Structure 1
Amino acid sequence: MEFRDVAGRKIRLPSLDRAELVAGAPGLRGEFDLTRVAITGSTSAGVTGEGSIAESVLSNLDLSGSRLAPLELSNVHLVDTELSNATLPATTARRVHVEASRGIGLHLVFRQASDVLAEGCRFDYATIELERVKQAVVFQGCSFREAMFLGDLSTVAFVECDLEGAEFAVRRAADCDLRSSNLRAVRGLRTLAGAKISTEQAVAIAVGLATQTGLVVEDQPAGTAPFPPGGTRHPGAT
């Protein structure tokens, strides 16, 4: 079994013997149950289906605009897969590795996510909800511009991701690691209690956080001396 250490998380990657995989057609319309298949360069845009995929590789597959629910993925590697505007509202993922794929406008709900790694993917404008997280879930080098996050982000790691303009409305975020990612213009910061950020990030988001907690941030009037660091200026003091 292959493991990957990312941001202090140990992820079990899919264990696949590609020589044993059988080339298959997409087969994702209606009910499906696919095991040990390799699907490459196929178009299933706009399909509606439900079922499971196990011990398989999907590469260069177009699933844009599709609706797959419920969907169970186990020991699956997805490469260069198009999921833009797809709807996956009831997904269970165990040992799933997603590489160089696109899910712009994707609606994805993980009922359970365990040992999930996404690398170099675009999820701009997506809505992603995690109901239950087990083991490691890591997004590395992914783009989530203007995306929405819901549910439980506990222990999830975002490694060198672009989260500019993303919105968080999560119920838990304990030990969520955001330290190496771009948090410019992120909304919903108050829901991220327990998440980890760097000192530099804390300074960068200070104004946004203050505004989101109801404070009015204004420049100091000209000619007004600030309080001395760590001290208190008493009335009448000069």
Structure 2
Amino acid sequence: MDTRTIRRTSVTLPALNEPGLYLSNVTSLEGGRGRLAEFHYADADLRDLDLADTHLIDGRITGLKAQRTRLEKLRVDSVEFTSCDLASLQWTDSKLSRAVFRDCKLMGATLKDVTLDNVLFDNCKIDYSTFTRLRAAGPVIFSKCTLRETTFTAADLGAALIDDCDLRLTEFDGGKYRGLDLRDNDLSQLRGLASLKQIVIDQAQKLQLAEALTADLDVTFGEDLDDK
């Protein structure tokens, strides 16, 4: 199987090029009896996308645009999302395994009680989003993504790696982050540093964390008072 590896973290990618696997073009993601397998769903432009109690297996979703997206109790196994724009995304009570989001826009998304296992976000825009009780049950990689003003609340990201991402005003509000690899990012504008115990960083990032902590604590410097 193909993998994506950054430092010590390896994500197993969807197995869509296996011999004998043929992806059929479909016009809807609602499969029979709540199951859709070996499919290619492309270039749909929807006002609303609502999926619940559905299992997506071995598929590609390409160029999907939706003005409002609601996904609930969705199981995703070995699926690629490429160049999708899912506005007002609400995704709850779901599990994703061997999934890839590549060049996708998920801005302002709300994910709640979603479990990730071998999931890659590559060059995605995820700004202004809220992730509540997001759990990395297996390796998860965010690579070259923008996560500006995104909030992780009570998340479990110990098996995750965030690499070369825009983390301006990204906030961590409670949760478990032991082992979260934050190397190769600018950490100077992170928020909620008290939650980030036992993360992995480089020596050079200590000054960035100090700058972030100064802002997080709303510190006043004595020199500024003396000048008044």
Interval of TM-score (by shorter of Structure 1 and Structure 2): 0.7 to 0.9
For the pair 1:120 / 2:123, whether they are aligned, the reply is yes
Secondary structure, counterpart of 1:36 in structure 2? strand
**Kept in 2: contact 1:130–1:153 (CA 8 A):** no
Aligned counterparts of 2:108 and 2:49: Cα–Cα separation in 1:
16
Answering whether residue 65 of structure 2 is matched by residue 62 of structure 1, we say yes
Task: Tell me how far 1:167 sits from its aligned partner.
Answer: 1.0
Pairwise CA RMSD of aligned residues? 2.3
> Residues 42 and 214 of structure 1: is their aligned pair in 2 closer, same or farther, counting only changes over 3 Å?
closer
2:68 and 2:7 map into 1 onto residues whose CA distance is 33
Q: Could you tell me which residue of structure 1 aligns to residue 156 of structure 2?
A: 152
- Structure 1 residue runs of 4+, over 4 Å off? 213-216
User: For 1:132 and 1:147, how far apart are their aligned partners in 2?
Assistant: 16
Offset at residue 147 of structure 1 (A): 0.7
TM-score if structure 1 supplies the norm length?
0.84
TM-score normalised to the size of structure 2? 0.88
Q: What percentage of aligned pairs have identical amino acids? A: 22
2:132 paired residue among 119, 129, 133: 129
Aligned partner of 1:93 in structure 2 is: 96
CA offset digits 1:144-189 (Å, max 9, x no partner): 0111112111121001010101111131110101111122321101
2:202 corresponds in structure 1 to 198
Name 1:143's counterpart in structure 2. Answer: 146
| Residue-by-residue CA offset, 1:66-99 (whole Å, 9 max, x unaligned) | 1110111111011001122110022200000110
Q: Which residue of structure 1 aligns with residue 216 of structure 2?
A: 212
CA distance in 2, matches of 1:110, 1:94: 15
Look up the SS of the partner of 2:56 in the other structure: strand
Q: Which of the pair has more CA radius of gyration?
A: 1
Structure 2 residues without counterparts, runs of 5 or longer:
none
What are the within-5 Å matches in structure 2 for residues 32-43 of structure 1? 32-43=34-45
Please identify which structure carries the higher strand content: 2
Q: Which moved more, 1:73-82 or 1:127-136?
A: 127-136
Tell me which amino acid in the other structure corresponds to 1:7: R
Structure 1 unpaired stretches of 5+: 223-238
Count of aligned pairs: 222
